[in-house]
Structure 1
Amino acid sequence: MPRPVVAIVGATASGKTGLSLDLAERLGGEVVNTDAMQVYRGMDVGTAKLPEAERRGIPHHLLDLMEVTEAASVAEFQGWAREVVADVRGRDRVPVLVGGSALYTRAILDRFEFPGTDEALRGELEAELERVGSAALHARLAGVDSEAAARIQPDNGRRVVRALEVVTLTGRPFSASLPRLEYADPRTLQVGVDIDRPTLDERIARRVEEMFEHGFVEEVEALLARGLAEGRTANRAIGYREVMGHLAGDRTLEQAREQTIVATRRFARRQDAWFRKDPRVLWVAHDDPDRVEVALAAVAGLAAEHDQADCR
């Protein structure tokens, strides 16, 4: 019988990494990254990429694939990830997905087909984004696809541009191409790490402090020398853009640190809101000593349910 697919979801700094390692060990699994920024080589400190020495000998996939000058796309990542998941399962291992990019996770797990793209049109829209700003383009999107506009933050310029591109190319609402709550493979389980906001806020502040103490500014300097400022995706990562502003003289180091904490907390709230809307997620408390056993029981129940179905 095919092995299940397990995804660990939730807010950044909630404890997803530790749970993913525990489950991979117990299930005979391999970890599959679903963090959009951990695909970049050299973006280690600022993305909290787990050092190889701390991976417990468990294979990790989809890390360090791209240079910071290259643009990442959800569609491309979906193809990579589905190939990896199929390979891991084909070797009778359990893929354990973990990462903070909610859309990337949904693109792998759910029935989600991507419309094509048009580089010329995309370039025109991106140029307009630079001229008039994200809010103006978001207002235009609201006029042609109110559902998509309601689901995309007005300050998320990249997604606004993509939505307008799809509407223009297909003549259909962008919302029609968004993922449905339907797994591509029914042998799928999402485990969410539940954590209260005060504890999460404190963890985020501590993580950011440790990033700056462990060479984050030096990491950004090294990546700037490799073209970070020219990249279309990597330079928008939280923390990196704040440190780039500091290095350009636009803010003090302390301001960069505080702005990184604020931006990370805001991002964590968006992550949590996204996953809370998915009724399929099994939530376990971050500090529950039995969280691993609860998740394993759910995996076993899922397997038993589908084994019985296959025998009918």
Structure 2
Amino acid sequence: MKALPEGVDIVTIYGPTACGKTAVACRLAEMLGGVVLSADSRQVYRGMDIGTGKDLGEYRLSDGYEVPYRLIDIAEAGERYDLHRYLQDFYDAYYELPMEQPKILCGGTGLYISALLGGYQLSDVPPNMELRAELEQLSLEELRARLLSLGGVAGECGEGSNPRRLVRAIELKESDSVLTTSGSDTHKGLRGPIFCLAPSREVRRARISSRLRARLEAGLVEEVEGLLARVPKEVLLGYGLEYRYVTEYLLGERTWEEMQQGLEVSIHQFAKRQMTWARGMERRGFDLTYIAPLEDPMETAEVMMASIFGGEKE
């Protein structure tokens, strides 16, 4: 185990979907003898494996080393899971780990990462059923406009095409609940380098298209079909991206071609929003180090090691 430099609580790896975050995090974890803590809003759900890109095989390295991880498969599909619950689960996992064990925060949900690194807290606002009934009558565009009118911004962490997340964001804004810096000493912002994997636009698009084909071949449709047997369709539609488009296909609302093409376009748009979130973090004072991922995840992890330890070689 290699201790992180003094003053570093955690190493963060962020980036757009399909940029290889998990593979790099696992190589870095092996070098450090560390543990990976997921920051993905959908990988928390059991049974949602292919569509969320859990890539659990990445945690079993070719040399036989198994990378420990947390915050994956901790909720049932269909359960309500939000930022408030994630923060609770994260800190439970974080403080259960040995203090000296290096920790790597890895994921593409920018809101979760910003909340942890900024030491934010979110008041526990109960559902407002009257407001929800009103909002359910609105279109996506109307929901986005409503949130914007309240000072919120839709789309930067995936909620722009997710009615359930838009409704919850409006609910929080209507109650004057905002994400703010914690006034207590319970959870300070986590300190450490923030790496953003930033492949070129051409590479990113090629990876997204290739991965979508692989997921469809791996049984994505069958995974969603199984979920439909136990999870209400409205909930699956609310998970967005793969689960929304494949559910609509299974319900006969899209042809195979419409599902595949529409999903690919939506994933590309989502990746762009993830990079928009990264730039927003910089505007809010976070210091991000952008890295173009190399072909070999180990080489990318070595670049991070050199940055973390100031060029020190092992």
Please give the per-residue CA displacement for 1:70-123, whole angstroms capped at 9, x wherever unaligned: 011111001111221223342x2111111111111122222211023122x2x2
In the alignment, which residue of structure 1 is the partner of 2:272? 269
Question: C-alpha displacement at 1:53, in angstroms?
Answer: 7.0
Please state if 1:253 is matched with 2:262. Answer: no
**1:150-229 superposed matches below 5 A:** 155-170=161-176, 177=179, 184-185=188-189, 187-229=191-233
- Residue 3 of structure 2 corresponds to which residue in structure 1? none
Instruction: Work out whether 1:72 is the aligned partner of 2:81.
Output: yes
Structure 2 CA distance for aligned equivalents of residues 74 and 271 of structure 1: 17
Given that 1:74 and 1:104 are in contact with CA atoms closer than 8 Å, whether structure 2 keeps it comes out as: yes
Q: CA 1:168/1:240 → structure 2, altered by over 3 Å: closer, same or farther?
A: closer
Distance in 2, matches of 1:154 and 1:206, equals: 24
Match of 2:105 in 1: 97
> Gaps spanning 5+ residues in structure 2: where?
1-5
Question: Does 2:261 match 1:287?
Answer: no
Please tell me the root mean square deviation across aligned C-alpha atoms, in Å: 2.8
Contact 1:238 1:260 in 2 (8 A): yes
Structure 1 portions without partners, runs of 5+: 304-312
Is residue 5–residue 187 contact of structure 1 (8 Å, CA) maintained in 2? yes
How many aligned positions are there? 291
Identity %: 32
Once residues 234 and 105 of structure 1 are traced to their aligned partners in structure 2, the CA distance between those partners, rounded to angstroms, is 24
SS at match of 2:51: coil
Match of 1:20 in 2: 25
Higher helix content, 1 or 2 = 1
SS of the aligned residue for 2:75 comes to: coil
Contact 2:13/2:21 (8 A) holds in 1: yes
In the alignment, which residue of structure 1 is the partner of 2:46?
41
When structure 1 is superposed on structure 2, of 134-143 and 62-71 the one drifting more is 134-143
Flag the 1:234–1:89 CA change in 2: closer, same or farther, 3 A: farther
Q: Which amino acid aligns with 2:52?
A: T
Asked if 1 retains the 8 angstrom alpha-carbon contact of 2:200 and 2:292, the reply is no
CA distance in 1, matches of 2:252, 2:27: 43
Give SS of 2:195's match.
Answer: strand
Corresponding residue of 2:244: 241
* Post-superposition offset of 1:151: 7.6
Match of 2:87, SS state, is helix
> Structure 1 95/293 Cα, relative in aligned 2: closer, same or farther at 3 Å?
same
